C-alpha cells in the first residue's frame, strides 16, 4: 500500500504520516538553581523563600521587576524573566 493511500485510510495528511514523532518534552529543561554571590548554587525553593520574606511586610505588593532588583541587591544573579517564572 502506498503512503498516500495509507494516510488517507488513517484519516491524516501525507506529511503527518511521514513526520517522525519525538518522545518526551521538547526544549530546554527548566532551571532548578540560581547563582548567589557569583559562586554558590542556590535551589529555587530558597529563592522563593527570600521572595516571600521580602514581600511579607504590610503593603508590599511589588511586581516582578522590583522583586528582581531586590534579589539582585541580595547578591543573586537572576534575570527578570526567571523572577517572573518563579
Please report whether residue 65 resides in a domain: yes
pLDDT the model gives residue 3: 72
Long-range contacts formed by 39-46: CB under 8 A, 24+ apart: 42/76, 44/86
Q: Is residue 7 part of a domain?
A: no
pLDDT digits (tens, 9 = 90+) for 33-52: 999 988 889 999 999 998 88
- Report yes or no: 36 and 44 within 8 Å, Cβ to Cβ: no
Residue 11 half-sphere exposure toward CB, CA atoms < 13 A: 0
Q: Per the structure, how many domains does the chain have?
A: 1
Say what the pLDDT of residue 23 is.
77
Q: Which domain holds residue 74?
A: 27-85
19 pLDDT above the threshold of 80: no
52 inside domain: yes
Is residue 19 domain-resident? no
Q: Is residue 71 part of a domain?
A: yes
Give the number of other CB atoms < 10 A from CB of residue 3. 10
Amino acid at each position: 500500500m502506498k503512503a498516500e493511500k495509507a494516510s488517507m485510510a488513517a484519516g491524516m495528511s501525507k506529511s503527518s504520516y511521514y513526520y517522525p514523532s519525538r518522545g518526551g518534552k521538547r526544549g530546554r529543561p527548566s532551571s532548578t538553581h540560581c547563582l548567589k554571590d557569583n559562586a554558590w548554587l542556590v535551589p529555587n525553593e530558597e529563592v522563593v523563600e527570600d521572595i516571600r520574606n521580602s514581600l511579607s511586610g504590610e503593603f508590599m505588593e511589588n511586581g516582578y521587576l522590583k522583586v528582581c532588583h531586590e534579589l539582585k541587591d541580595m547578591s543573586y544573579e537572576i534575570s527578570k524573566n526567571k523572577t517572573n517564572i518563579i
